[in-house]
Amino acid sequence: SAVISQKPSRDICQRGTSLTIQCQVDSQVTMMFWYRQQPGQSLTLIATANQGSEATYESGFVIDKFPISRPNLTFSTLTVSNMSPEDSSIYLCSVAGGPDTQYFGPGTRLTVL
């Protein structure tokens, strides 16, 4: 399985600011995903990060709030913009493994004050 790292591992941010989370994979992968896990909850898909084109967002998530970059097949970033306390969550990137599996990074724990 791919080795996935995320930076930062955690952060505490002020309301109204933005945070960019990085996801690095040790091998080239076609599909990368970003998830949100609110406290005590399950995982919710934010978007699929597409290499060379705009990310595909799930219902309830928009590019202005969660801009995503995917400059190559091993790296992606998720920005949480204009943060509010409701954005406090764990943000996870994952990659599609084979066959039909996904592997997750360690997550970024975000607290917004």
How many other C-beta atoms can be found within 10 angstroms of the C-beta atom of residue 55?
21
- What sign does the CA torsion over 32, 104, 42, 9 have? negative
Q: Is 32:26 a contact under the CB 8 Å cutoff? A: no
Min. distance of Cβ 16 from another protein in angstroms? 27
Provide CB contacts within 8 A for 90, sequence distance 6+. Answer: 36, 37, 107, 108, 109, 110
For another protein, give the closer residue by CB, 19 or 92: 92
- Report, in angstroms and rounded to the nearest whole number, the Rg of the chain calculated over CA atoms: 13
Interface residues with another protein (CB under 8 A)?
Answer: 1, 4, 31, 33, 41-45, 48, 92, 94, 96-97, 99-107, 109
Nearer to another protein, 64 or 100 (CB): 100
Minimum CB distance to another protein smaller for 45 or for 73: 45
Smallest gap from residue 104 Cβ to another protein (A): 4
**Smallest gap from residue 45 Cβ to another protein (A):** 7
